[in-house]
Amino acid sequence: MSVSLEKIPHLPGVYIIKDRFDKIIYIGKAKDLKNRVSSYFTKQAELAFKTSNIKLFASKIDFIICDSEREALIVERRLISEFKPFFNTIWKDSKTYPYVVITKEAFPRLIITRKKGLNGNYFGPYPKVEVVKNLIEKLFEIRLINLRRCKFNFSLKNPLSINKREKCLYYHTGQCPAPCDSKRISQKDYMRYVKIASDFFKGKHSKLIDDFNIKMIESSEKLDYENAIKYRDFIKAIEHIYERVSVNETNLDQIKSKLDFTETLLSLKNILGLKKIPYHIESFDISNLLNRWAVGSCVCFVNGQKNHQHYRHFRIKYIPQKGGGNDYQMIYEIVKRRIRAAKESNELADLFLIDGGKGQLAMAEKARKEENADIELISLAKENEEIYTLKSSTPFVLPRDSKELLFLMSVRDETHRFAITYHRKIRSKDFLI
C-alpha cells in the first residue's frame, strides 16, 4: 500500500482505502487521521487478521477532513451506505450509533435509540454511547431535562387511568413532572420542559459547562476527587454533544464536496510548500480613510467554512506621522495582537493570509517572530492575485479559475468586507457626535 503519511493531518476525519483498480474496499473514521492510518503500518497490525487482509488488497488511501469526531461518524456511515465497501460489508462494519429522540406524543418523552423510525425530533448520532447516557442521567437529576420516563400512551382526550398512575414509581418518588395528573402540571407548562430539553441538544445551554467547571474546581479544592472527575466527564460529554457538524447525513453531495475541499487544501499545501494542511486559516486586512478611522479585521475559516467565533475587529492604536499612513505598521500591529490573544486561548491558526504584497507579509512575519508563534504566513496581492510566501522570492501565480486561488480570494474578500463594514460603522458614529 503506497501512502504518504506526511500528507495526513492530526485531525478528525474519514479515511477511504482503495484497491489498484481505484475501487473503495474499506471506509473508516478517526478522531486523529494520522494516528489511525499510521496504525496500519505497525507490527501489531501485520498480525491482526482484519488489518492484514485490508493491506493485502489496498493500493491507495484518500481522506476527508471533518469538523469533529461526530461529523466523521456521519460521513463514514453515509459513505458506507452509498458504496458498500467489501471489507465493511463482510465484517458488518456499518455500526449503528445511538440518537437522542424527543418524541412527538401528546406528552413527549426523551428516548435513546439506534433506530430511525420513531416519530420525533432526532439529535445525533453520538459515537460515545456511555458518555451520553451518563450525561442524560445527570441532566434528569438536576432537572434540566424534566420529562416523563414512563412508556404509557395517554393524552388529554385519553387520560391515564388512576390505577396505572398509582403504580408508577416515578410518580410517587417525584422523578417525573407527572403530566398524567393535570393537577400537578398542565400540558402547556409541560411543553415548556420539552422546549428546554430540545434547546439543550441544539446547543443552547453551553452555560452549563461553566457551571460544571465551577463545581469541578470546588470539588477538587475540597479533595473530593471522585466528584471532580464526574463533573470533568460531564463537561466532556456536553462538548461531545455540541461538536460541530456541517453536513447532513442524507446529503451525499455535501460529503463529496467535503472530499473535494480536502483535496483543495492538500493541493494548496503542496503548491505553496506549507508544512501542514491549512485547515484553520485566519486572514487580515486594514481599512482607513486618509489615516483616519483606521481599523483592522481578522476573519477565520475552518475546513473551508466561516467560523464567526474567531472573527475579530481592531481599532488601530498606531498613529501615523504627518504626510502619510503606514499600512505595513498597522498589519504588524493587528497580527501581533491576534497572536497574543490566540496564544492565551491556545487557538493558533495553521496559516495567516495577509491582504497585500511583500511589504505587508514582511511586517506580519516580524510580528510572528517576535511572538515566537508557530504559524505559516502568505499574502495575496489584489492587483494580479499573486501569492507571496516567505520561502520564495517570486510570487506564485495560479490560474484564475483554480480551486486553490478561488478559495484564497474568497477568504481575502470576506476579510475586506468585514474591515470595510467596521470602518464605516466607526466613521458614521464620529459623524453623529
Domain range list for the chain: 5-90, 99-241, 259-432
pLDDT tens figures, 128-146: 778 788 888 888 887 888 8
pLDDT one-digit tens code per residue, 232-246: 888 877 877 776 665
d(CA 288, CA 293): 6
Which band of pLDDT confidence, cut at 50, 70 and 90, is reported for residue 433? very low
DSSP-derived 3-state class of residue 355: strand
Task: Mark residue 101 as left, alpha or beta (left: phi above 0; alpha: psi -120 to 50; beta: remaining).
Answer: beta
**pLDDT for the residue numbered 252:** 66
Grid coordinates representing 300 are 477565520
Range picked from 153-162, 251-260, 298-307 for highest mean pLDDT: 298-307
DSSP for 73-118 reads HHHHHHHHHHH--HHHHHTT------EEEEE-SSS-BEEEES-S-S
User: Is the domain 259-432 a CATH 3.30.420.340 member?
Assistant: yes
Match domain 5-90 to its CATH number in 3.10.450.40, 3.40.1440.10, 1.10.600.10, 3.60.20.10. Answer: 3.40.1440.10
Q: Which residue has the higher pLDDT, 388 or 58?
A: 388
C-alpha cell at 329: 505598521
> What's the average model confidence in pLDDT over 271-293?
85
pLDDT recorded at residue 95: 58
CA torsion sign for 47, 49, 50, 54 is positive
Query: CA 171, CA 371: separation in Å to the nearest integer?
Result: 61
Q: And the C-alpha cell for 339? A: 497572536
On the question of pLDDT at 248 being above 90, the answer is: no
- Give the CA count within 13 Å in the CB-facing half-sphere of 148: 25
Find the angle CA(409)-CA(412)-CA(415) to the nearest 5 degrees: 150
Residue 210: is it exposed, middle or buried by C-beta count within 10 angstroms (0-12/13-18/19+)?
exposed
Residue 10 CA: distances (Å) to CA of 38, 303, 365: 11, 13, 25
pLDDT of res. 225: 87
Round the CA-based radius of gyration of the chain to a whole number and report it: 27
What are the φ/ψ torsions at residue 295 (nearest 5 degrees)? Answer: -135, 160
Highest mean pLDDT among 157-171, 177-191, 417-431: 177-191
Cα 430 to Cα 53: distance, rounded to the nearest angstrom: 70
